[in-house]
Structure 1
Amino acid sequence: MLAMDSLVMARVIHDVLDPFTSTVPLRIGYNNRLFLPGADLRPSAVASKPRVHVGGNYMRVLYTLMLVDPDAPSPSHPTLREYLHWMVVDIPGTTGASFGQELVVYERPEPRSGIHRMVFVLFQQLGRGTVFAPHMRHNFSSRNFACQYHLNIVAATYFNCQREGGSGGRRFKPESTQRGRY
């Protein structure tokens, strides 16, 4: 399954982002392990900032990286949607988040109930110093923020996170079971 397909199936495309074409490779790993879109990670596995590598062809092109939770405080009642967990700006292409400026300090995901989609979004910026920190972490909107600062989505991925003792997973109906009977 393509990364974009997983974003659509998990409703990241719709709840958080509009459809886009991925143009820059984005690799994210926790504890020296890369994760695939839709991976299940526990809070203990994401306690520290991830290692992020941003692709691209030119160091002069700058990017903004965000981590948001569209399911806060719970997937059935996301009244804090989106919750901003991390923001790094001015990341040069071909480098990583450690080369950028952290505007919003990393806050580890700690879901209290349900399974939360934790969404990483990479935007291309207009230039250095053109993106500023939002006033609040809760009720953040990736769409509105991107519009305000003229950011273009170039990559996105997500993982699922639930409390340490949680069990189960997101269930998506296969296409064949969504059709009516003949």
Structure 2
Amino acid sequence: MHFLPAFSSLLLCTTFSAAAPFWGIFEQTSLTPYLTATISSSIKSALKKADVIPDVLAHDFKPTFSLLLSYPSTHDHVFLGNVLPRSNVSSKPVFEIHSLSPHPTPTQKNATYTLVLTDPDATSRAEPVKAQMCHWIVTGLKLQPKDNSNAYILDARTTSEEHSSTLSELISYFAPAPPPKTGYHRYIFVLLVPKDSQDDGKGLQKPADRPHWGYGEEGAGVKEWADDNGLKAVGANFFYAQNEKQ
């Protein structure tokens, strides 16, 4: 498995603090068209190598946002296919979501975003009889302008406090808990936005169940739920985790 794709090398070219090892690229670097295209291409390449495309995302998925997530209690970061200890991801992560465009459109600025977490490897990647498994759905997310740049971000560390009245967890965070002897599971965060720019996201329907996202069909999940709710994927990130008993 390719845990450190080309995107990692690109991001590591910039010096970052220990608390935020790669988030600083959006503060220290001007997002030129070449750089945004390179980041988008590298994200998609990592997703394809791990078969996130097509297991969770469609072949025509194009990343237009980057998802930068970390688990505050352990300072572990989600890094396009790195391995995280199961015990370190027991509580919900904090995150920044950056537009890969240096000048987001009015539609992007005003849209309501939804972040989901899914496991396409339940109960195992070899026998995904319960896949996909829904682990988290949080919506009501809005972009906020970043003070020291022309970037627009969605930052859960501030949004959750300043806009708590607009946030809604359709599915509370269920910590990854891969069963013993089932190998590595992929845990995939997907950022979704309404296809209709006038949709405020308030009418989203909660999945009927966590296994198969309520569809009752092996492999069903984010794509089906997004289509039924008028959403499209615009960003993704993922990590691997396994049970200690193998």
TM-score, reference length from structure 1: 0.84
* 1:1-182 alignment, distance < 5 Å: 1=6, 2-19=42-59, 20-31=61-72, 32-56=75-99, 57=104, 59-93=109-143, 94-97=153-156, 98=160, 99=163, 100-112=167-179, 113-125=182-194, 126-140=199-213, 141-166=221-246
State the aligned residue count: 166
Amino acid at match of 1:150: G
Q: 5+ residue gaps in structure 1? A: 167-182
The structure with more radius of gyration: 2
Long gaps (5+) in structure 2: 1-5, 7-41, 144-152, 214-220
Asked whether the equivalents of residues 83 and 139 of structure 1 are also in contact (C-alpha less than 8 Å), the reply is yes
CA shift for structure 1 position 7: 0.4
Work out the CA distance in 2 between the residues paired with 1:39 and 1:103.
27
Deviations 1:103-149 (A, max 9, x none): 10101001112110001000012313031211100012111111111
SS at 1:5's partner residue?
A: helix
Equivalent position of 1:172 in the other structure: none
Query: Secondary structure at the residue paired with 1:75?
Result: coil
Aligned-pair distance for 1:165? 4.6
Deviation at 1:13, TM superposition (A): 0.4
Query: 1:36-90: CA deviations, max 9, x gaps?
Result: 1001011111011011222344652111111000000111110011000100011
> Normalized per residue, which structure has more helix?
2
Aligned-residue identity in percent: 32
For residues 237 and 134 of structure 2, the distance between their equivalents in structure 1, rounded to whole angstroms, comes to: 15
SS at match of 1:25: strand
User: What is the CA–CA distance in structure 1 between the aligned matches of 2:50 and 2:238, rounded to whole Å?
Assistant: 9
Aligned equivalents of 1:101, 1:21: Cα separation in 2: 26
Letter in 1 for 2:90: A
Q: CA deviation at 1:154?
A: 0.5
CA distance in 2, matches of 1:121, 1:79: 21
